[in-house]
Structure 1
Amino acid sequence: MEMFWELVLGASLLTVAICLTKLLLVKTHIRRFRGQLERLREDDTREIVKISLVDRELERLAVEVNEVITHLRQLHIDAKNNEHDLKIQIANMSHDLKTPLVAVKGYVQLLQRDRVSPDEASGYLQIIAEKADVLSRLVGNFFELSIIDSDDYQVDVGKLDINASLTNVALTFYTSFAERDIEPEMDLPDRAVYAWANDIAFERIMHNLIENAILYTEGKIWLSLNDRGHSVVVTVSNEITNPSALDPDQLFKRSYRADQARHSSHSGLGLYIVKTLAEKMNATVRANLSDGFFSISIILTSDT
């Protein structure tokens, strides 16, 4: 009997010793863990916290902490990128607004001269009116962007006849096509084609795409609508002579400016608005450069 209690006592002491040893190891690793976190906070290194195979819960804690660290680092990177993009956008906005304003001021000064013929005055006033339209479009784009770029801005989608909507938008550009001597080629079905979309957002998207094509085409413009059963694809294409000026992978960024756009009165925000509105409708936007043609496609979910 005495031997039994000695065995029990020995086992108990061994168990206590093991528990104390494990506790000391856990405390040691917790101190190391805390030290690693302090170094990460102070030095902003790219390391992660590490822990030896001592306790499963500590291992899980280390994994969770590393995931939080990775997430925070990504947020920091995103914030830096957004700050950089914002600075570029402000510079672009300044340039975009300054260009037509300088032009208007110059032509107003010409009108103030004593020797200005009626024909010259009429021409100057026409240019001033055009520059005022440019300013109006720029301000409208900036205002629209400030609204739709918010996470709180949502659009309701429903069954929409894409064919009819696209045709209506194209018709509003009749005068613009005529002024540029453009006869757009339209490949549209002779029936209604339905998809899930928001009528206002879709028409704004098509307006921006057609306007962009008119501004930068070097010849023809194509509008096409393809019903693929599970999806509906709307494509706007135009000829270009300088493909190297465009970067399809960057086109839809808020701060992107093509080389050719830098010297124009176009703000460059139109395609960013297209992408933002498309995403609000759960649609996809794709850009493509091929054989001297630039195309942008909107892929919508079919109603079928």
Structure 2
Amino acid sequence: MLIILVIMTLLCLLLIYLLIRQTLGIQHMTHSLTYINHHHTNANVTLPVNSRALANLANEINVNLDQTNLLTRQQVLNEQEIRAVMTNLSHDIKTPLAVASGYTQLLQQEVTSLDANKLAKVATSLATVSDYLKTLMDFSLLNEKRISLKPERLNISDLLQTNILSFYDMFTQRQLEPKLTIQPDLILLTDKPLFNRALQNLISNMAKYANSVASISAQTDENGHLVLTFVNDTSDSFNIEDIKRFNTKNPKTGTGLGLSITKSILEQLGGTFTVAHDHTKNRFSVTVVFNPAITVLDD
């Protein structure tokens, strides 16, 4: 009887030992998987103990990890190829488009009034294609920057005024004089190419589609947030819900894909992007808020 009791005790101790080994092995595998899932690594699951069952499980997990890493690398390569094609295509189209636009402008100076309307339609179509091309290039830039943003300290006040000045001719042609309220020396840590492109899109949209009112402001609010506001009226009627969804049902409104990409750019840079429409005054507004903003005071 005593011998049986000793044997049973030894068997229980052996089972407890094996259970502890298995538990330690599973805990180690769990920690390994947790680390792998939260870090960019090609590491595999390892075992601190010798266990055939757990070794087989670890091997199958590692096979799955290797396949996932291979698919991830292939996806990255495919995305890089797509971005390269988009970039090359955009630049290839840009040159002949600019040439066609230039010749159209020359012809408009020489043709009779009978052909002037036809050339005006050609010029409008070329301008539309040019807008779409810029949108495609913005989309390509946005996808490229999703991989590597390069933040730097930017004087937003100066950058905004420089961009407004670059659209001076467009504002003048439409007899618009934008009202500017720009607080000096607003500094923001952000990616310059992306932020600059977003500003250009918003100002360009205003220069093209404002009817008689155009105002731009850049200030800090009571919480220290940087607030950019772009307000303009428009002769086109549209539904604010369509704008919020960035539909492209009416290409004349200046909303749609370009505004959607601008929104994506600014949100990727950490800003919030909201649109509003005052039906009584038929005014369209875009508000961009960054938190926090750093205001540089004079010494």
Q: Which of 242, 253, 260 matches 1:272? A: 260
CA shift for structure 1 position 267: 8.0
Structure 2 CA distance, aligned partners of 1:242 and 1:219? 15
- Trace 1:242-281 onto structure 2 (pairs within 5 A): 242=237, 244-247=239-242, 249-251=244-246, 257-261=247-251, 264=252, 268-280=256-268
Higher relative contact order (CA 8 A, sep 6+): 1
AA aligned to 1:236 is F
TM-score (norm 1): 0.53
Q: Which of 240, 252, 270 matches 1:283? A: 270
Deviations 1:60-94 (A, max 9, x none): x9xxx9xx9xxx9xxxxxxxxxxxxxxxxxxxxxx
- Counterpart residue number, 2:5: 7
CA shift for structure 1 position 242: 4.3
Q: Give the secondary-structure state (helix, strand or coil) at the position aligned to 2:239.
A: helix
CA shift for structure 1 position 233: 1.8
Structure 1 CA distance, aligned partners of 2:127 and 2:272? 28
Structure 1 CA distance, aligned partners of 2:230 and 2:8? 85
Q: Which of 131, 136, 139 matches 1:145? A: 139
- Counterpart residue number, 2:153: 159
Structure 2 CA distance, aligned partners of 1:197 and 1:239? 30
| Identity, % of aligned positions | 22
- Counterpart residue number, 1:52: none
CA shift for structure 1 position 162: 0.8
Count of residues in correspondence between the two structures = 210
Q: Give the secondary-structure state (helix, strand or coil) at the position aligned to 1:213.
A: helix
* Mapped contact 1:245–1:260 kept (Cα < 8 A): no
Asked if residue 235 in structure 1 is aligned to residue 226 in structure 2, the reply is no
Asked if residue 118 in structure 1 is aligned to residue 118 in structure 2, the reply is no
Structure 2 CA distance, aligned partners of 1:10 and 1:285? 69
Residue segments in structure 1 that go unaligned for 5+ positions in a row: 23-57, 73-100, 112-116, 252-256
CA separation of 1:127/1:242 partners in 2, compared to 1, >3 Å: closer, same or farther?
closer
AA aligned to 2:163 is V
- Counterpart residue number, 1:213: 206
Residue segments in structure 2 that go unaligned for 5+ positions in a row: 20-53, 69-96
* Mapped contact 2:243–2:256 kept (Cα < 8 A): no
Deviations 1:233-271 (A, max 9, x none): 2121233674635346533xxxxx24333xx39583322
Structure 2 CA distance, aligned partners of 1:10 and 1:207? 82
Range that drifts further, 165-174 or 267-276: 267-276
Structure 2 CA distance, aligned partners of 1:144 and 1:220? 27
- Counterpart residue number, 1:297: 287
CA shift for structure 1 position 225: 0.6
Cα RMSD for the two superposed structures: 4.3
Q: Give the secondary-structure state (helix, strand or coil) at the position aligned to 2:226.
A: strand
Q: Which of 192, 212, 223 matches 1:199? A: 192
CA shift for structure 1 position 205: 0.8
AA aligned to 1:140 is K
Structure 2 CA distance, aligned partners of 1:243 and 1:267? 10
CA shift for structure 1 position 223: 0.8
CA separation of 1:272/1:142 partners in 2, compared to 1, >3 Å: closer, same or farther?
same
Structure 2 CA distance, aligned partners of 1:290 and 1:144? 25
CA shift for structure 1 position 149: 1.7
Q: Give the secondary-structure state (helix, strand or coil) at the position aligned to 2:250.
A: helix
AA aligned to 1:180 is R
AA aligned to 1:259 is K
Q: Which of 121, 124, 135 matches 1:130? A: 124
CA separation of 1:267/1:291 partners in 2, compared to 1, >3 Å: closer, same or farther?
closer
Structure 1 CA distance, aligned partners of 2:230 and 2:170? 16
- Counterpart residue number, 1:174: 168
Q: Give the secondary-structure state (helix, strand or coil) at the position aligned to 1:149.
A: helix
Structure 1 CA distance, aligned partners of 2:156 and 2:116? 42
* Mapped contact 1:148–1:277 kept (Cα < 8 A): yes
* Mapped contact 1:221–1:236 kept (Cα < 8 A): yes
TM-score (norm 2): 0.54
Q: Give the secondary-structure state (helix, strand or coil) at the position aligned to 2:289.
A: strand
AA aligned to 1:225 is A
CA separation of 1:184/1:246 partners in 2, compared to 1, >3 Å: closer, same or farther?
farther
CA separation of 1:168/1:150 partners in 2, compared to 1, >3 Å: closer, same or farther?
closer
AA aligned to 1:286 is F
Deviations 1:174-193 (A, max 9, x none): 2322333433222222x222
* Mapped contact 1:223–1:234 kept (Cα < 8 A): yes
* Mapped contact 1:138–1:267 kept (Cα < 8 A): no
